[in-house]
Amino acid sequence: MSDLVRRAEEWLAQDPDPETRDELGRILDAGDAAALMDRFGAKLEFGTAGLRGELGAGPNRMNRVTVMRAAAGLARRLGPGKHVVIGYDARHNSDVFARDSAAVLNGAGLRVSLMAHHWPTPVLAFAVRHLGADAGVMVTASHNPPRDNGYKVYWGDGAQIVPPLDAEISAAIDATGPVDRLPLGDEWETLSDAAIVEPYLAAVTALPTGDDRDLRIVYTPMHGVGGEILLRALAAAGFAPPAVVDAQFTPDPDFPTVAFPNPEEPGAMDLSLRLAEKVGADLVIANDPDADRCAVGVPTRDGGFRMLTGDEVGGLLGEYVIEHTSAPGRLVAESIVSSSLLGKIAKAHGVRHAETLTGFKWIVKAGDGLVYGYEEALGHSVGSDLGLPVRDKDGIGAALTVAGMAAAAKREGRTLLDLLDEQAERYGLHATAQASFRVADLSLITAAMERLRSHPPQALGGRAVRSVDDLSAGVDGLPPTEGLRYRLDGDARVVVRPSGTEPKLKCYLEVVVPVTEPGAVPAARTKAADDLESLKADLTTALGL
């Protein structure tokens, strides 16, 4: 207890934030050992996803001290004279953390460009390359709960950092002394709308969206920062203004209408789908709070609406982009947990295909000629023959391209569901699902992974396990990462991995059902749904969670 108190008092002495000082003072006055252990018994680790965690006092929380230390570590790794662009979303303290970062970086002798407003993450990723900067920082926790915030670092190539940069920056952070001794600057450039948003909009509206524009769209930014930019992008591309979910349009860091501000979460899209039914929409589009993800909903044949999975959108967008680009040596890429459908599409069109580790930091580095990359968690990076305008997932560019694809289908009397059925007939029905286990104690995830390794399942969902890849050893030329991949009889696959940003164990399931004759897709979907449920049940038992 005495060591925790000492560390807390040292933290308190350097903390510039009266709110977290008050929080920590109350904990010390109360002698609350559990609260001190929670905040000072561990620390947020800086990795390839940067930092992300709950707001509060101490090294195991996101706060001004944690952020200033991160900025000081980044400054040390870059060195004086380098240029850093900083962006931020509308979460609690995002603007404060951005200004603190600017002050620390500028005080260390770096040139800083700070965005004038809370704008989407893809705008920051675009800005790094557009301005020729050496690095970028985005203060965001994406779709995490309201009490979280985060700190993402981009390098000069416009992509998120990968090893060994993460370890080098982390070591520099650890070498940082008390933040109240850091020199602070106040001479940074403020990036206006004209300087960065307008060039970004010009880049994404040049994506292959076709010429068709007859489409009724419903849109929600999920209380985040994508609303204004998406409306401007649609208008610039020639689409009519969408019907917006008013209750979710204005940025609000408390996300009052949703339990989790993630379009994938149950109930998050209810307001959008109700509005879509009311206005007779052709398409529903949602961004997550920092607008790097794009969710898509469509009318069903029985008069309702349903959300497409990230893999369904990935297959549709992948084929659409391939058909609307022509440069030699084109490449499409996806993460190892995404559907195998994209690889079959690429082979049929004579286009190169690559699998990478999860995360767009890997996808955008898949190789030269990349025109499209995606991961199943609603992340898409759409390019053209000129390449990717954003070397990260971009929910605005993806939304524009989906709208163009849906408008073209509508002109032909078809819907995105018709396009999905046609793909199933050509390549087989690729059905995917995810099982996620959120835990309060991360040791439960470690124990579950150890259990799978020591007692590997021989069968899952009635299918024999044909092979097991331990991803921690590195497979197929990929860097090592924590996870297991099971290949099952009958063209099925399961991947189990801990989340890199949330206290979750994630399981990714895929079954492929052949479609042997026209009209057989509904039966194939029913069989696939049953097979996925069987896989989930057996996997839950094997994990012991």
Active site residues: 142
Contacts of 279 (CB under 8 A, 6+ apart): 216, 218, 243
> In terms of DSSP H, where are the helices of 176-220?
198-204
Alpha carbon distance 502, 488 (integer Å) = 28
* Cα separation, 319 vs 209, whole angstroms: 13
From the list 381, 384, 371, the residue with the least C-alpha distance to 331 is 371
Question: Are the C-beta atoms of residues 335 and 359 closer than 8 Å to each other?
Answer: yes
**Neighbouring C-alpha atoms within 13 Å toward the C-beta of 195:** 15
Q: Cite the beta strand spans of 129-227 per DSSP E.
A: 135-139, 148-155, 189-191, 217-220
- C-alpha R_g of the chain: 23
In this structure, the strands spanning 463-470 and 283-287 are unpaired
The pair of three-digit structure tokens given for residue 344, joined into one six-digit string = 């079959």
Give the integer Cα–Cα distance in Å for 260 and 424. 32
Quote the CA–CA distance of 484 and 216 in Å, as a whole number.
43
- Rounded Cα–Cα distance for residues 108 and 320 (Å): 47
